[in-house]
Structure 1
Amino acid sequence: MNATPLYAAIEAGGTKINVAVGSGPADIRRRARIATRHPDETMPEIAAFLDGAVAEFGPLAGLGIATFGPADLDPASPTYGCVFAGTKPGWDDTDILGPFVRQLGCPAAIDTDVNGAALGEARWGAGKGFESIVYFTVGTGIGGGFVQDEKTRHGLTHPEMGHVLVRRHPHDAYPGICRFHGDCVEGLASGPAIRDRLGAPLDELPEDHPFRAILADYLGQLCAQAVFLLSPQRIVLGGGVMNAGGLHGPVTDAMRRYLAGFIPHPRLKGDDYLVPPALGDDAGIAGAFALAMDASRRASR
């Protein structure tokens, strides 16, 4: 048995699945990146990685999974740990938690990928030291997670902040790409929406392209709604679209326009309220480690 407890962390995304074993995100002993194919191919590959880790390190103390959604996160539900009909063909009603719990025989927890990233940033990244943060990812989709007192918050199910409706920009006639809502914020401002409307990803467009102002407007509305609804102490804004650069300032300006001075808190006027993630691409796997640690801690009480 390891003197230092080791945990398994799985970050399941729409195109790739990151799997790691270590004592935490700063001490990863073994990791792999697996393409997200049909579950009949992908799940055995994850299981083989975990078998190899157990053979090398011994029993693991906990398992955390941060998965693409929608997913059933209610432990009392008969479909707890399953992902439902969403954007990944072939994964409908797949149990992404149960097989690995049975394989490892350790405490486990599951949350969405964006909630996992929010938890990782809250514990070790740009949200450390704050009682509440909202994390948005803007990439293949748009999602948001809310962490308060180092716990992600759920309700009927997990939040779907990327599907909120926004006011249409006066210079934008694009109908939207979301197959459910058309012109929700994901339908207007996600990576696929940008490529569909412009024929190229944002990082291939010139810095003075007029669409950047439209994009900042939509994301600013999203952040303003988070302030009105949740009043987080910090907003972390990441994802592949944001990695194109130069957007955090314009999004902050747009957020302030939509807040219109209604919330007179001095932090909203500073340049450190809406920030990029500190953990970069490792935010999700860090969150999965946090879920595993918390599950192990609860089981030992």
Structure 2
Amino acid sequence: MDKVLLGALEAGGTKMVCATGYADGTVVESESFPTTTPEETTATCAAWFKDKGIAALGIGAFGPTAVNPSSPRYGQILETPKTAWRYFDLLGNLQEPLGIPCGYDTDVNVACLGEVTFGCAQGLTDVVYLTIGTGVGAGVLSGGKLLHGMMHPEAGHIPLVPNPDDPIAGDGACPYHKNCLEGLIAGPAIAKRWNGKKGSQMADDPEAMDLLAGYLGQALATYILCYSPQRIIIGGGVGDHTPIVQLARAKTAEVLNNYIVTPEVADLDTYIVNNSLEGKQGVMGCLELARQALEG
């Protein structure tokens, strides 16, 4: 299996990352393409993989998307703000021209899988991977399996108690929920609050970081109470380029208020951590998904 070439596709809302590699996580080559129309984008990706000689393809898709194989919409993008992609059969439009086994899951679930297989969560069975960037998404491993249920976790949209000093309290940037985590902490919320600035541009502003860390701490406490993970891993542009992960540890402890007493929560520095695979966790997770698809 280690010598069998596999394919990986990180299907994002702004770009598609196509890669080849091996079951040990080695990435051989990769190339990215802009996400345009569904037909054009999938044709471009399928053409890139067509002559690579891959035996299987792992796909991590932006969501919401149908990840349950028993669903009649399995492999389709669901209610996304990208209207042209709603109910488009992403999986089918890749699997049909390639004619190979394909594994399919969400982009954040495969990032979680990458960290569990190759990164800082190896050997763990219950993990939350959170990405904070243009949006907020969560991948959850529970009992050694990626969590799906009726769909998949949309834990970036949990409601929070807004900070009364927040200028966008009650009017966050999420078009669906005004006080959800994504609407208060993701890139568009930062831009709305601070005159178009990015998270990295606000990283040295202690008041701004305290505000964002407070929201993140609320969310992490909820994940701890609901999922009981053995580790929480945080990535994404906002997570990677600001100090909110470090600051949110104390905020999480405040919300929990000593209710959870475990060795993990007693050592938040090793419990709530930044991602460990230099931005490759998604591609590497897709390679593992492809390996699983090939083995059936």
Q: State the TM-score bracket (shorter-chain normalisation).
A: over 0.9
- Tell me how far apart the structure 2 counterparts of residues 213 and 250 of structure 1 sit (CA, whole Å): 7
Q: Please tell me the residue identity of whatever aligns with 1:49.
A: W
Q: Please tell me the residue identity of whatever aligns with 2:276.
A: A
- Tell me how far apart the structure 2 counterparts of residues 196 and 281 of structure 1 sit (CA, whole Å): 26
User: How far off its partner does 1:206 sit?
Assistant: 5.4
- Tell me how far apart the structure 2 counterparts of residues 115 and 162 of structure 1 sit (CA, whole Å): 13
Hey, what does 2:211 align to over in structure 1?
A: 214
**Correspondence 1:109-188 to 2 at 5 A:** 109-174=103-168, 175-188=171-184
Hey, what does 1:49 align to over in structure 2?
A: 48
- Secondary structure (helix, strand or coil) at the match of 1:254 reads helix
User: How far off its partner does 1:24 sit?
Assistant: 3.5
Q: 1:192 to 1:25 in 2, by over 3 A?
A: farther
- Whether contact under 8 Å (2:8, 2:283) holds in the other structure is yes
The reply on whether 1:11 has 2:10 as its aligned counterpart is yes
Count of equivalent residues: 292
Hey, what does 2:77 align to over in structure 1?
A: 83
TM-score, normalised relative to structure 2: 0.94
- Tell me how far apart the structure 1 counterparts of residues 39 and 295 of structure 2 sit (CA, whole Å): 32
Q: Point out where structure 1 has 5 or more consecutive residues left out of the alignment.
A: 55-59
Q: Please tell me the residue identity of whatever aligns with 1:118.
A: C
User: How far off its partner does 1:30 sit?
Assistant: 2.8
Hey, what does 2:246 align to over in structure 1?
A: 249
- Secondary structure (helix, strand or coil) at the match of 1:280 reads coil
- Tell me how far apart the structure 2 counterparts of residues 291 and 90 of structure 1 sit (CA, whole Å): 27
- Secondary structure (helix, strand or coil) at the match of 1:117 reads helix
Q: Point out where structure 2 has 5 or more consecutive residues left out of the alignment.
A: none
Q: Deviations over 1:55-113 (max 9, x none)?
A: xxxxx322110000111112122221010221324111111111222222222121110
TM-score, normalised relative to structure 1: 0.92
Match 2:282 to one of 281, 284, 289: 284
Hey, what does 2:266 align to over in structure 1?
A: 269
Hey, what does 2:222 align to over in structure 1?
A: 225
Match 1:234 to one of 231, 245, 270: 231
Hey, what does 2:34 align to over in structure 1?
A: 35
- Whether contact under 8 Å (2:209, 2:243) holds in the other structure is no
The reply on whether 1:193 has 2:189 as its aligned counterpart is yes
- Whether contact under 8 Å (1:119, 1:150) holds in the other structure is no
Hey, what does 1:57 align to over in structure 2?
A: none
Q: Please tell me the residue identity of whatever aligns with 1:39.
A: P
- Tell me how far apart the structure 2 counterparts of residues 25 and 66 of structure 1 sit (CA, whole Å): 18
Q: Please tell me the residue identity of whatever aligns with 1:176.
A: G
- Tell me how far apart the structure 1 counterparts of residues 210 and 2 of structure 2 sit (CA, whole Å): 53
- Tell me how far apart the structure 2 counterparts of residues 88 and 32 of structure 1 sit (CA, whole Å): 23
Q: Deviations over 1:146-204 (max 9, x none)?
A: 11354211111110000001111132141101111111111111111101111201211
- Secondary structure (helix, strand or coil) at the match of 1:144 reads strand
The alignment-based identity, stated in percent, is 36
- Whether contact under 8 Å (2:58, 2:286) holds in the other structure is yes
- Secondary structure (helix, strand or coil) at the match of 1:250 reads helix
User: How far off its partner does 1:145 sit?
Assistant: 1.0
- Whether contact under 8 Å (1:7, 1:22) holds in the other structure is yes
- Secondary structure (helix, strand or coil) at the match of 1:214 reads helix
